[in-house]
Amino acid sequence: MAAIASRRARHPAMHVYQLRPYETTALKRLAGRHATEVDTLDALLRGKVLVDLYAAVRQGIRASVESYSIKRIEALYGFERSVLLRDANACLSAFETWLELREPHLESADTPHDEMRDGIQGYNEDDCLSTLHLRDWLEARREDLAAKSGMPLPRRRPVASAPSEALADQVERVRAVMRALLERDAGRRVDA
């Protein structure tokens, strides 16, 4: 989150692309669970920085594919994975098994082997590169449409990412209550 916020400070019109809202959902869950980076996430959501390419694909193209999952549409934009999906799935399955069966008290020798880590890393890199290629391919289709129609296709204007004054005041009141409750709870643990 800090890296995204830092980059956004330098490039206010930037976007973070994803295919489906998995990452957004995970960020919300983590921010809620750990009560950290909530303001950063709020600014990203409010500013519509996180872009779901799945919605653009479903609304913008028609393709004869079983689904619009990234693996099913990669042929449209000519992306070839460096890690075969069969091998990536085997690595992911082995890693899940390792997580379930490992003994936490054992020494550092109890780590996933390099082949497993390399397979998972390659799979994740392929997903990131495929998303980039999809974004670039969609941009090229957009340019083609603008050229064919002879009309510019306006982009959405950046959205203000600061909360309204009323919302900011309400958030500060909630945080004050939260701080008071945490301090009271910490005091109880010290007394106990």
- Please provide the DSSP assignment of 47-93 as one string: TT-EEEHHHHHHHH----SS---HHHHGGGGT---SS-HHHHHHHHH
C-alpha–C-alpha distance, residues 38 and 46, integer Å:
12
**Cβ–Cβ contacts within 10 Å for residue 124, how many?**
12
pLDDT of residue 110: 59
pLDDT of residue 113: 79
What is the DSSP pairing of strand 16-18 with strand 50-52? parallel
In Å, how far are 4, 57, 160, 162 from 44, measured between CA atoms? 9, 22, 10, 10
pLDDT of residue 192: 57
The position carrying tokens 């109890």 is: 110
Entry pTM: 0.75
pLDDT of residue 151: 92
pLDDT of residue 89: 92
C-alpha–C-alpha distance, residues 174 and 10, integer Å:
31
C-alpha–C-alpha distance, residues 136 and 89, integer Å:
27
Compute the Cα dihedral for 33, 16, 68, 132 and give only its sign: negative
pLDDT in tens, the chain (192 residues): 889 989 999 998 899 999 888 889 999 999 888 878 888 888 899 888 999 999 889 988 898 888 898 889 999 999 999 999 899 999 999 888 888 887 665 555 556 778 888 999 999 999 999 999 999 999 999 999 999 999 988 887 767 667 677 767 777 887 788 788 888 877 776 665
C-alpha–C-alpha distance, residues 34 and 112, integer Å:
27
C-alpha–C-alpha distance, residues 90 and 71, integer Å:
16
